[in-house]
Structure 1
Amino acid sequence: MTGALSHAVDQNRRAEYARAARALLRRPVLRAHGPDAEYVVLVRRHASELRAWFDRNTEWRLVVDSEVARLVKTVADTTDTTHPARDPRSRAPFTRRRYVLLCLALAALDRADAQVTLGRLAEQIVLAAADPDLAATGIAFTLDRREERTDLVSVVRLLLDLGVLARVAGDEEAFVRDDGDALYDVERRVLSSLLATPRGPSTVDATGLDERLAALTAELPPTTDDLRNQQIRRRLTRRLLDEPVLYHSDLDEAELAYLTSQRHAITSRITELTGLVAEVRAEGIAMVDPLDDLTDVRMPESGTDGHATLLLAEYLTARGPLPLDALHAHLRKKGVEHASFWRKNATAGGAEVELAATAIARLEALRLVEQRGDVVHPRPALARYAVGPPTIQEPRS
């Protein structure tokens, strides 16, 4: 009985450990108060093990205190634009101006009092946006137009979702209409944990955007073979945890050689931590999630956009690289066939262009296609969505 009880306790501990790790990977900023509270409790309980695992295998820092649990992740590719920040309500991707407003808002909140109104925050951002160097880039923000107020509200919604702000009173929509305001608490512990760079931006002397990003994310060059292998292992583990598919063709010679020899060890450690299952193909590796909740982009997905994406995936798999015009024509035809199931405006003239753009963006985010100019090229993992002839089994005698 003692052995059975010990086994049950160990199984429960492992399940909690995995739930805590998955919560951090799904949402790297967890707040102690609110919907994330139960996960923060689990992260605190297993903080030492989790901190050691992430440090050893990814070099991501885990910060845990009384108010927040923060996994400080660094991305493998700073040029990847397929997973933008999104408005939590509309799911619209952030534009260049919204990203600038987000940075200005964080800077203003760092100097703000414990509470701030949306109007006061907007005033501080307008002052910052008037900087000549920023104005020279073509970014303007004056609050004169409804579109500008909408952009700021999208930024505030993201900050609310992250837990940087907590609404006390008011309504953002009233601010958009220019007939009201909103009041927020500034959660300083969450705000101070957001920066996810190995070094502080103020220590970087480079001036160009690409140069600054490179300096902010640069790793120290390894001085021994062991350090070089450690760096490669961490880089590969980060990509397997973060990216839908890791293609061999995207790796350099040293990374490919290391992955070939250490593939089982790397994927086994990830499986033990998260429950993700390695799907190994000749072209690369995908860590598949049986629970389907560790992704921000799902496929298949219900609704008109999800169906259109599946139809394009099937078409590209069967036909190979295709120009956008051909994909538009295909969706226009399918819109007529499925008019009774698709939303009404999806069959209007020209709707196929937006449907195709949404579908391609989803497929690119999942590393299933690549768009070069006006031609969309299928990538190897898209083959899993190929539709073959049906197999009819003979009835058992």
Structure 2
Amino acid sequence: MSAPEGLHRAARALLSRPLLRASAHPQEFRLVREHLHELRRWFDRNTGWRLYTDAETARLRKVPGDPGNATHPAREAGRGRQAFDRRRYVLFCLALAVLERAEAQTALGRMAEHIVLEASAPEFADLGFTLAARDQRMDLVAVVRLLVDLGVLSRVAGDEGAFVGRQGDALYDVDRRVLAALLAGARGPSTVPHGDHGARLTALAEDGVAQQLDSDDLRNTAIRHRLTRRLLDDPVLYFDTLTPQEQAYLTGQRGAITRRIHELTGLVAEVRAEGIAMVDPRDDLTDVRMPEQGTTGHATLLLAEYLAAAGRPLTLDELAARVRELADEHASYWAKSARAPGNEPELVAAAVDRLRALDLVEPQSLDGVPAVAARPALARYAVAAPVVTTPEGETP
């Protein structure tokens, strides 16, 4: 394998899975170790992300370019892939705190007892987490399965499903090496001052450069980090989301930034009047695809076409009405459950979530009614009127 190809694969592996374990990802881990110097230098200079490695793990400590973007939530491992809500995120953090004090092995039931105790603190009063309800136990199991997928826990015996039904327990080994590598912020949470949640989240993600903007060079470095992070992480970087300083910097440095990303990852810049998208010719460096298979994927693609052609924001009720029409039109292809009357809002919600994650639409309100508006990149899904030509290539 050539050096550029190996570097590409190592970088792409870290970007798609920032925590690699030698036992679970041997080929990717080996490539990262082989190209460690180049990777560390590139990420440090262009994103400010730190790359930590030891004999068993490689951890790219990514922080987001846009901390307020909530369109790519954590999802439970396995079937369903349900997105994490606030309760699951809180339980995830409490589970990590409990595991810091746990023995080398721990049982799910014992871990649950400690999490319930931690969740009784006043700041978590709105959760009301007691494990009494089945949905609460399912939330905790979703957290545990994510920890297993990450490698923090290794299942030794038992089954989480039995715990949900109160019919059994499960036993795990705790990998402290992986546990210690999970925290990605450039500063410890205890050093972030109390205040507005958004401000605290931003402060947690700030790197040292962003905290010391006392020169033009440092300010430019901070801007370069933010722009490169967004180009790597976000489907589209729209110019209207940038500050004047970021727009000015990108105007002069766009070619250099996109070239460096291409050299590391193989991503190709698609530059339009409204923004930049780093397109992946291999189509595997993403957590959200469009189009996607299945009824939901098909409905999402058809709604994207409908929104692109509408030329105006559409309410969720209008989208639901369109789904009803599409369900009748594609009855032979769609799942029976999706065609059932009353399921339109669920399909619309899933489609809008996917389109938002791809930066193709944005939520709006029309006279207080929830609506969705197309973003410029959605235009690629508009279907043009067919053009009929003669054999000589002339339009009749």
Please tell me the TM-score bracket, short chain as reference: over 0.9
> Retained in 2: the 8 A contact 1:206–1:215?
no
2:167 to 148, 172, 179: 179
1:45 matched residue in structure 2: 34
Match of 2:118 in 1: 128
Tell me how far 1:70 sits from its aligned partner. 0.5
Are 2:51 and 1:67 equivalent residues in the alignment? no
RMSD, aligned CA: 1.4
Residues 58 and 234 of structure 1 are in contact (CA less than 8 Å); yes or no, is this contact kept in structure 2? yes
Contact 2:66 2:230 in 1 (8 A): no
Deviations 1:48-96 (A, max 9, x none): 1100000000000001111111100001222211111111122111121
Residue 96 of structure 1 pairs with residue 86 of structure 2: yes
Aligned to 2:158: 170
- 8 A Cα contact 1:164 1:191, kept in partner: yes
Offset of 1:204 from its aligned partner? 2.1
| Counterpart in the other structure of 2:384 | 388
Tell me the alpha carbon deviations over residues 191-217 of structure 1, each in whole angstroms, 9 at most, x when there is no partner.
101111111011223144234223323
Letter in 2 for 1:133: E
Does 1:77 pair with 2:66?
A: yes
Which residue pairs with 1:198 in the alignment? 186
Q: State whether residues 338 and 347 of structure 2, in contact with CA within 8 Å, keep that contact through their aligned partners in structure 1.
A: yes
Name structure 2 gaps, 5 residues minimum.
none
Q: TM-score, normalising length from structure 1?
A: 0.94
CA–CA distance in 1 between the matches of 2:91 and 2:327? 38
- CA drift at 1:107: 0.3
Equivalent-residue separation in structure 2 for 1:353 and 1:214 (angstroms)? 34
SS of 1:287's equivalent in the other structure is strand
Cα distance change on mapping 1:395 and 1:64 into 2, 3 Å: farther
Q: TM-score, normalised by structure 2?
A: 0.94
State the distance in 2 between where 1:157 and 1:273 align.
32
**Residue 248 of structure 1 aligns with which residue?**
239
> CA offsets per residue over residues 251-290 of structure 1, 9 Å max, x none?
0111111111111110010000000010000000000001
> What SS does the aligned partner of 1:70 have?
strand
Q: Moved runs in structure 1, 4+ residues, more than 6 A?
A: none
Match of 2:339 in 1: 347
> Aligned partner of 1:49: which letter?
E
Does the 8 Å CA contact 1:126/1:142 hold for their aligned counterparts? yes
Which residue is equivalent to 2:198?
210
Q: How far off is 1:234 after superposition?
A: 1.3
Cα displacement (A) at 1:394 = 4.7
Residue type of the alignment partner of 1:243? D
Task: Pick from 86, 109, 115 the counterpart of residue 99 of structure 2.
Answer: 109
CA offset digits 1:334-360 (Å, max 9, x no partner): 100001100001111111111011000
Q: Distance in 2 between matches of 1:239 and 1:341?
A: 37
Alignment pair present for 1:119 and 2:115? no
Which amino acid letter does the alignment assign opposite residue 377 of structure 2?
Answer: A
Cα distance in 1, alignment partners of residues 388 and 58 from structure 2: 52
* Equivalent AA in structure 1 for residue 328 of structure 2: V
Q: Secondary structure at the match of 1:25?
A: helix
Aligned to 1:161: 149
Matched residue SS, 2:55: coil
Name the SS for the 1:88 alignment partner: coil
Kept in 2: contact 1:199–1:216 (CA 8 A): yes
The aligned counterpart of 2:134 is 146
Residue range with higher mean Cα deviation, 108-117 or 11-20:
11-20
